[in-house]
Amino acid sequence: MGEIVFKNICKSFGDTKVIENLDLTIKDGEFTVLVGASGCGKTTLLRMIAGIGPATSGELYIDGEEVTDIPPGKRGIAMVFQNYAIYPTMTVRGNIEFGLKNKKIPKSERDRLIADAAEVVGLTPYLNRMPSQLSGGQRQRVALARAMVKTPSVFLLDEPLSNLDAKLRVAMRTELIELHHRLKTTFVYVTHDQTEAMSMADTIILMDGGKIQQMAAPEVIYNDPNNIFTAQFIGTPPMNVHKMRDDVNYIGYRPEKIQIFRDKPTDCTYVRKVKVITREMLGSETLYKLQILSDAENEKEPIMSKSLDMSFAVDEEVYIGVPKEDLYYFDANKMRIRETDMLERLYCTTEGDK
């Protein structure tokens, strides 16, 4: 119903090129989450799909059809805008109803759809209010409801939960996942929040500077990153990465994969002696900031470790070890090196420990 294909798409505003030569296929019926730092072009991408900020060049297909000449209203798309864009001159009901009226849906049907949508987003008591009398989060839910009633073939959601409190956000997240299960249409969902991305997505698209860094299922993004950017973007705290001794390549390992020992371990590929700088209790886990005890320039940066063991004290000197399978290697261009045997032999063994 709604496969979206970008072919060699470019987008510039005046002289600034925001997106260059983008090729991308968003699969039909999938929940695709677009993540990336602020200003990387996520909204721009959605607006191209919606047809309200057309690409400068290239071809865009929705459901196999070139859509350049199809007006936004005829593309079968519903969008939740980042800044809501709800109509200030209409009541909540009027906002939700507007698109339905334009589609000439009969009154009784409209009323039913509105009642349903309002119930889902919890706005039933507010249907006759003006937007100016609503809180930010309530306005955001109006925008959501307005999109939901339209039963589109593609849903575009630009950070639709950013203004909700934690509890409501989790509830709405579930609602959206259920909605997706029910409608089985294509969802493209933009977020800053990587937990949201990891928990909701079938596929994550990670963008940086108008380019796609990696596009894969959440577990692949986490376990098998293509480059340092992806490796460090997903996961909190981010993956520890530092230059290897050859001063060319990089080595990385996730904070939660680090094992901490009082005695020097023997079965780990990567072993370093470290000193505990700070210690932060997170509840079930403890966050340690560690300094590698070495004179090497490349290992000066402190590393982070997340451990279930809370017994290590500040200033204590301990050993860390990372198993072979949890080590990642990247080349000088910060791209992943998957042929690692040689690198491991050369740089990783306990010889780093002094």
Partner 1 sequence: MKKKVNILRKLFPYVMVIPTMILLAVFVFYPLVNMVYLSFFDYNLIKEKTFCGLDNYYRIFFIQTDFRDAFLNTLIYMAGTTFFLLFLGLVFALWLQRDSKFNAIAQRLMFFPNICAGLAISLIFQWLMDDEGLFNMVLGFFDIAPLRWLNDSTTSLLSVMIVAIWKGIGYYALILLSSVKSIPTELIEAADLDDAGKIRTFFKITLPMLSPQLFFLLITLTINSFKVFDSVRLMTGGGPGNSSDVLVYWIYRYSMEYNKYGLACAGGTVLLVILLILTVVYFRVIGKKVHYQ
**Interface ranges with ligand ATP (CB under 6 A):** 13, 16, 18, 36, 38-44, 82
- Closest to partner 1 by CB, 78 vs 303, is 78
* Helix 107-121 / helix 92-102 crossing angle, nearest 10 deg: 130
The single-letter code of the amino acid at 95 is: N
Binder of residue 77, out of partner 1, ligand ATP, Mg ion, none (CB less than 5 to 8 A by kind): partner 1
Q: At closest approach, how far in Å is the CB of 44 from ligand ATP?
A: 3
DSSP-derived 3-state class of residue 351 = helix
Sort residue 342 into left (φ over 0), alpha (ψ -120 to 50) or beta: alpha
Which of ligand ATP, Mg ion, partner 1, none binds 103 (CB below 5-8 Å, type-dependent)? Answer: partner 1
Give the chain's end-to-end CA distance (angstroms, integer).
61
User: What span, in angstroms and rounded, lies between the C-alpha atoms of 86 and 143?
Assistant: 6
Please give the sequence-ordered ranges of beta strands (E in DSSP) within 75-130, or none if there are none.
77-80
Q: DSSP per residue over 125-144, as a string?
A: GGTTS-GGGS-HHHHHHHHH
- Indicate the pairing of strand 77-80 with strand 4-13: unpaired
**Contacts of partner 1 in 82-101 (CB under 8 A):** 83, 85-90, 98-99
Structure tokens at 177: 């996942």
Q: How far is the CB of 148 from ligand ATP (least distance, A)?
A: 22
User: By rule CB under 8 A, what string of x and - marks binding of each residue 138-167 to partner 1?
Assistant: --------x---x-----------------
Residue closer to ligand ATP (CB basis): 36 or 255: 36
**The pair of three-digit structure tokens given for residue 156, joined into one six-digit string:** 């575009």
Site for Mg ion in 78-97 (CB under 5 A): 82
71 contacts partner 1 (rule: CB under 8 A): yes
Instruction: Report the C-alpha gap between 207 and 35 in whole angstroms.
Output: 6
Nearest residue (CB) to partner 1, 65 versus 297: 65
Q: Please spell the DSSP secondary structure of 65-124, one letter per residue.
A: EE-TTS-GGGS-EEEEBTTB---TTS-HHHHHHHHHHHTT--HHHHHHHHHHHHHHHT-G
Our CB check for partner 1 shows the closer of 101 and 262 to be 101
From the list Mg ion, partner 1, ligand ATP, none, which binds 333 (C-beta under 5 to 8 Å, kind-based)?
A: none
Residue 41 binds: one of partner 1, Mg ion, ligand ATP, none (C-beta under 5 to 8 A by kind): ligand ATP
SS3 content of the chain, % helix, strand, coil (to 5): 30, 30, 35
| Total interface residues for partner 1 by CB under 8 A | 27
Residue 43 binds Mg ion (CB under 5 A): yes
Closer residue to partner 1 (CB): 158 or 196: 158
In whole angstroms, give the CA distance from residue 201 to residue 273: 39
81 binds partner 1 (CB under 8 A): yes
Residue type, 113: L
Does the footprint of partner 1 cover residue 61 (CB under 8 A)?
A: no
| Least distance from partner 1 to the Cβ atom of residue 115, Å | 19
Tell me the chain's radius of gyration from C-alpha atoms. 24
Could you tell me how many residues of this chain bind Mg ion (CB under 5 A)? Answer: 2
Span from 76-84, 108-116, 178-186, 321-329 in contact with partner 1 (CB under 8 A): 76-84
Report how far residue 142's alpha carbon sits from residue 121's, in angstroms, rounded to the nearest whole number.
Answer: 8
> Which helix H or strand E contains 251, and what residues bound it?
strand 250-253
Q: Considering only residues 99 through 138, tell me which ones interact with partner 1, judged by CB under 8 A.
A: 99, 102-103, 130, 132
Task: Name which of 77 and 215 has its Cβ closer to partner 1.
Answer: 77
Residues that bind Mg ion (CB under 5 A): 43, 82
Residues that bind partner 1 (CB under 8 A): 47, 50-52, 71-74, 77-79, 81, 83, 85-90, 98-99, 102-103, 130, 132, 146, 150
